[in-house]
Amino acid sequence: MDDILELTGAQAAAAITRGELDARELFELYRERASRDPLNAFTWVAEAPPASDPAPAPLAGVPIAVKDLYCTEGVPSQAGSRILEGYRPPYTATVVARLAAAGAPLLAKTNQDEFAMGSSTENSAFGPVRNPWDRERVPGGSSGGSAAAVAAGLAPWAIGTDTGGSIRQPAALCGVVGLKPTYGACSRYGMIAFASSLDQAGPLTRDVTDAALLLSHMAGRDPCDSTSIGLREPVTLPSRSDLKGVRLGVPEELTGADSGVQDGVRARFDETLAIAENLGAIVEPCRLPHAPHALSAYYLIAPAEASANLARYDGVRYGLRVDGDDDLLSMYRRTRAAGFGAEVKRRIMLGTYALSSGYYDAYYGAAQKVRTKIAEDFAIAFGTFDFVVTPTSPWTAFELGSKAQDPLAMYLNDFCTVPMPLAGIPAISIPAGLSDGLPVGFQFAGPAFGENALLDAAFALEQALEFDQRPARLHESQLVGAGDAEGTQ
Amino acid sequence: MLARDQVDHVARLARLELTEEEAERMAAELSKVLDHIEKIRELDLAGVPPTSHVVDVVNVLRADEPSPSLSVESALGSAPDVVAGGFGVPSPGASPA
């Protein structure tokens, strides 16, 4: 049993294809583990394997955990929000449907910050998720359930969404791989929207190969999302074993003394750069002069778009309704007051303010101009460098509740991850060792549509780093109800 | 800095009912966040074009052909109130106090 759990998604798919592993047994193994999850990583777990044996398909029946905000037909899709409690959509998100068609059936829905707003998964209406490396700490967010599930061995692989770091930061804090593809690579159809010009689907996996394999079945143009483009070349599984001649730019703005990066994180980052140099990489400082302003631009643009996207939760077509004083407006206001959590209200207020008459130019308009400058900074950097590299998160996993009362401190978590979605470029976080027993993420960012080169470079470094994820895997005895069989509960 | 009457105004625009305590806390928290965000005003952005979409795409067109869509029954399946094959809502006529 234990060795099956140690198979990556790609390895499990290969074993099934070779006839050495049974897809239904694998599904049942993970289904049973997920249903006994002590981390609160899931909001829904399948009750049984798919009714029929899967037809031969590339992913061979290896099941997948999907962030709650993806619409899945007939299955609760609540985006971590009370306002969507019990909502079962009448259709399935394109990305989830593509993965199912490729042979990855739905195992579970994963817990998340409400409407993907947060960096700790403490903003879920369904309770916080715990980090399998230390259950008193957060898994990061907003895709914290997906990251924790993969790290703990409760799911072979998972998908999340990234708006300002919501795939990469939880991947870093849980010691797994997280990829945010180029904006437009994957369809957003059926992804419950947060900030539409930034939101992007992506994989959270045990290794870079799994991330590439999932991406290859997720990406593609979709007539239902006119901003989807797909990738310009097919995804190839990474194979590179060195970084000879690869130029890595280290931006002072995101890594230096003013960046807020913890000493332990900085130390692991520097060691990782040395390993990259041993593989042949050329590591030099680079400049992203506007990157320190990315957080400000992000916390204007994302809430502004959210305030418009979340206007649809009005108690009319789905979800919660709270009666008002017999009129429409008071029904709207009370439904939204009761249905949204504190952080979502804060962002709606911030976004509405930034778009309101008299403030639009000073806030939203200025943020869109900063966005242009940030994209230009990256374009200039990529004239000299193949990739820009940073720590993924300035901190390792922090204690539950330690930042929940200070919104600004929580937002600073996203310091190293927000510039990339503002520029629309792809970025990947891979685990790069521990600091005081907690995982540290190393982030590569590359030019738009350069996923293959990005995955190849991350793969080469991953092989050299040999990060050991096993301490995070939950043993049978750590699952809920483990003592029941012996009557020792 | 966000004054209390601005919080009330924005909450009205956002169709959010805030308790007294929520409104007070919102004024303090948003002011702190806005103080941080204000730093972008230090930048000289004269003549910089705004970016609303990061990928250089032109208009996406398709043929206007009918295709299957959700049934009325399915679309109404999650509605809190269904009246005569539509979404039921309270009267918009009565004006709130």
pLDDT, one tens digit per residue, over B67-82 is 899 999 999 999 999 9
pLDDT tens per residue across span A454-463:
999 999 999 9
Contacts of A336 in chain B (CB under 8 A): 14-17
Name the 3-class secondary structure at A177: strand
- What CATH homologous superfamily does A2-292+368-482 map to? Amidase signature (AS) domain (3.90.1300.10)
Q: Give dist(CA B26, CA A47) in Å, integer.
A: 42
Measure Cα distances from A354 to A272, A312, B15 in Å.
40, 19, 16
Residue B62: predicted pLDDT:
84
Residue A484: predicted pLDDT:
59
ipTM > 0.90, yes or no: yes
φ/ψ region of A271 (left if φ > 0, alpha if ψ in -120 to 50, else beta) reads: alpha
Query: N- to C-terminal Cα distance for chain B?
Result: 29
Q: Which pLDDT band, with edges at 50, 70 and 90, does A125 fall under?
A: very high
A221 shares contact with chain B (CB less than 8 Å)? no
* The pLDDT of residue A363 is above 90: yes
B15 and A311 within 8 Å at the Cβ level: the answer is yes
Q: Which pLDDT band, with edges at 50, 70 and 90, does A445 fall under?
A: very high
Contacts of B87 in chain A (CB under 8 A): 316-317
Residue A487: predicted pLDDT:
40
Contacts of B45 in chain A (CB under 8 A): 366, 369-370, 373
Residue A404: predicted pLDDT:
86
* The pLDDT of residue B97 is above 80: no
A448 shares contact with chain B (CB less than 8 Å)? yes
pLDDT tens per residue across span A74-118:
999 999 999 999 999 999 999 999 999 999 999 999 999 999 999
Among A77, A120, A142, A259, the active-site one is A142
The token pair that represents A60 in the structure block: 């061979």
Q: Which pLDDT band, with edges at 50, 70 and 90, does A414 fall under?
A: very high
Q: Give dist(CA A357, CA B6) in Å, integer.
A: 12
Give domain limits for chain A.
Answer: 2-292+368-482, 293-367
Residue A2: predicted pLDDT:
60
Q: Give dist(CA B49, CA B51) in Å, integer.
A: 7
A67 is catalytic: yes
Compute how many other C-beta atoms are within 10 angstroms of the C-beta atom of residue A117: 29
Residue B86: predicted pLDDT:
96
What residue in A sits closest to B69 (Cα-Cα)? A91
Residue B95: predicted pLDDT:
54
Average pLDDT of chain A is: 96
pLDDT (average), residues A154-173: 98
CATH of the domain at B33: 1.10.20.60
Q: What is the number of structural domains in chain B?
A: 1
pLDDT tens per residue across span A370-382:
999 999 999 999 9
The token pair that represents A120 in the structure block: 């700790």
Shortest distance between the Cα of B91 and any Cα of chain A, in A, equals 5
Closest to A294 measured CA to CA, from A361, A359, A377, A360: A377
Average pLDDT of chain B is: 90
A415 shares contact with chain B (CB less than 8 Å)? no
A259 is catalytic: no
A216 preceded by a cis bond (ω within 30 of 0)? no
pLDDT (average), residues A56-71: 96
Q: Which pLDDT band, with edges at 50, 70 and 90, does A257 fall under?
A: confident
Compute how many other C-beta atoms are within 10 angstroms of the C-beta atom of residue B72: 11
Residue B37 counted as domain residue:
yes
Shortest distance between the Cα of B1 and any Cα of chain A, in A, equals 12
Residue A50: predicted pLDDT:
86
Alpha helices in A136-235 (DSSP H): 144-152, 168-174, 208-218
Residue A174: predicted pLDDT:
98
pLDDT (average), residues B75-91: 95
Residue B18 counted as domain residue:
yes
A166 is catalytic: yes
Q: Where are the beta strands (DSSP E) in A197-295?
A: 200-205, 247-251, 282-286
pLDDT tens per residue across span A212-233:
999 999 999 999 999 999 999 9
The token pair that represents A176 in the structure block: 């797994």
Query: In which element (H, E) is residue A161 found?
Result: strand A158-162
Residue type, B53: H
Residue A76: predicted pLDDT:
98
* Pairing, β A247-251 against β A387-391: parallel
pLDDT tens per residue across span A297-348:
999 999 999 999 999 999 999 999 999 888 999 999 999 999 999 999 999 9
DSSP β-bridge partners for residue A431: A441
pLDDT tens per residue across span A381-405:
999 999 999 999 999 999 999 998 8
Between A53 and A105, residue with greater pLDDT = A105
Contacts of B13 in chain A (CB under 8 A): 352, 356
- Structural domain including B37 reads 1-41
Q: Which pLDDT band, with edges at 50, 70 and 90, does A489 fall under?
A: very low
Residue B47 counted as domain residue:
no
Name the 3-class secondary structure at A314: coil
Cα R_g (chain A), whole angstroms: 21
